[in-house]
Each structure stands twice: as structure tokens, then as C-alpha cells.
Amino acid sequence: MTQASLGTGSDKPVQTVRYGPWRDGIRLFMRNRTAVVGLVIVFMFIVLALLAPWITRYEYTAQVLADRLQPPSAKHWFGTDDLGRDIFTRTIYGARISLWVGFLSVIGSIVIGTLLGLIAGFYGKWVDMIISRFFDILLAFPGILLAIAIVAILGPSLQNALYAIAIVNIPTYGRLVRARVLSLRQEEFITAARAIGVRDTRLLFRHILPNSLTPLIVQGTLGVATAIIEAAGLGFLGLGAQPPEPEWGKMLSDSRQFIQTAPWTVIFPGICILLTSLGFNLMGDGLRDTFDPKLKNR
């Protein structure tokens, strides 16, 4: 908790302003310029995704073959693709898909990984061994290759790509929580809670889990950027969103043959992938600097 003293003279009482940990964290975060830039970028894409029906003039599936491969103009701000579809409209609607996949896959990874990490770290012994070996097996494969294998088994679709990305990232959050639980279960407040007969479930979800949220929030923010890139990679390979869904990776795949003749067809979806990933990474770095006590005084 941070304290600040206010006063105009020695004859007046000193007023002390106390800041809670969350308010203090917000103040530190807002002082980090790069983190604020990341927050602005992410907020901009979220707003564009939510307001897509009101800020676009065309349907993202509308094809006008007479206008195919038109360069950016007042009529089509980002130009058109090989089927005459408005790229600006498809890019804005693509933000919905990418953010949806990013957020939901990370939430799924966090929920499953946190549960497994809590159980492994708290009970230890053979339970910890089985869960840890499960994490090791998943980590033994490169993430994108494992995601490709999962989608190949389940079938190409956006929903299956979401499942694959969530499964691939489970060990990241599971091992993070497990390490946190191993350090917390030896603390005095846990020992005291056990001494008065607090049940294991209450210990896990009322005492240990709340003290493990900070690293999860930081890693989850960084994980959204990774999930968006992985979704774009699966879409580029034809294993993610299927036509006519305007997913950024799929848009890049469909337009790669026009890189030289119509570069705008790949530039704008690529820039969107870059900016969203950059925004979440800057936010994640800012949150890490805010909540990590070793970095606060740097």
C-alpha cells in the first residue's frame, strides 16, 4: 500500500492518502508509456470489432467481380481482393474472429491449466508426477505442429482451431500455477488455515488461487498475442476459419499470389496481425513491470 502526505504548513494537520494495491498498480501501469500505447492499440481493435456493422459500408461476403483487385480509393479504403470484396470490411470483421479466438482460447487454457496446476502443486507425489508428465508431453512438440496435428484429427474449422490453440497452451499456465502453489503451500497462513480445519477446496480457491492470479493475468495478456498469431498461422494453412469467413490468416493465404500485382491485399491484414500482437505484448510487458516487485524500482 502506498501513502502520500499532503499539507500546506506546519500548523495544519497532515492528510495521508492511502492507495490500495489495485489502484496503485493502475497508477504504475499508466505511467508506463509503452504499456499505455499497447492498451490504446488493443482498445482500438476491440472498438472496431464491436462497431463493425456500423462503420463498414459493405457486406464482408459481397462480391463485385467488376471491382476485383482495385487499389485503395475513396470507395474502397483498403482496396478489393480477387473476388471484388471490400478489404476494409473484411479486415474489420476479421478483428472479431481473431480477438474471439485469442480471448476464448486463452481463457480455456487458463481454466484447465490452473485447475491442473493447483492439483499438482497442492497434492504432490504421484498426482504431481502424472500431471507434470502430461505437461512435458505437450511441451515436447512445437506448439504450431501440435496444433496442426490436433486440427488435422478434428477437422479444419475455426472452432477446432480454437480447441487446438487452447490445448497447446495448457502447460504454460499449468506449470506457472504449479510453481506458485509449491511456494505458497509452505506459507504460514496456509499452515494456520490447515490447523483450524479448513478444507482443501477452500484452501485452493479462497487462499492459494487469489495469490496466484497476478502472474496468470500477465501471462494471459501475452498469451492472447500468441493465440492470435497461431490462429493466423492455422488459417494461412487452411486449417482455421473456412471461406467466406474473413480471418486475417486466411486472407493472407488467399492473396499471397497477388503480392506483386496487388500488394494491398496482404499488407492490411498483415498490419492488423502485427498491431494486435504488438498491443497485447506491450500490455503484458507493462503488467509484468507493474506487478513484479523486482522491477518496480528500476
Q: Is 63 helix (H, G, I), strand (E, B) or coil?
A: coil
> What's the whole-number mean pLDDT along residues 284-298?
69
pLDDT value at position 1? 47
Is the pLDDT assigned to residue 120 strictly greater than 80?
yes
pLDDT mean over 20-41 = 80
Least-confidence region, from 123-127, 174-178, 190-194, 215-219: 190-194
- In this prediction, residue 21 has a pLDDT band, given cuts at 50, 70 and 90, of low
* 12, amino acid identity: K
pLDDT at position 218 is 87
- For 183-223, the pLDDT digits (tens) are 887 777 777 777 777 787 887 888 788 878 888 888 999 99
Mean predicted confidence (pLDDT) in 267-290 = 91
Please state, rounded to an integer, the average pLDDT across all residues of the chain. 85
Say which residue the cell 494486435 belongs to. 276
Q: 204 and 123 in contact (C-beta within 8 Å)?
A: no
Q: What is the pLDDT of residues 249-272, one digit of tens each?
A: 999 998 888 888 999 999 999 999
CA distances to 1, 20, 38, 285, 292 from 24, rounded to whole Å, are 7, 6, 19, 17, 13
The CB-based long-range contact list for 289-292 (8 Å cut-off, 24+ gap) reads 289/28, 289/32, 289/35, 290/25, 290/28, 290/29, 290/32, 290/35, 291/25, 291/214, 291/215, 291/217, 291/218
Residue type, 219: Q
Per-residue pLDDT, 198: 73
Q: What are the residue ranges spanned by the domains of the chain?
A: 34-291
Domain boundaries 34-291, corresponding CATH code: 1.10.3720.10
Q: Which three cell numbers stand for residue 84?
A: 471484388
pTM, to two decimals: 0.84
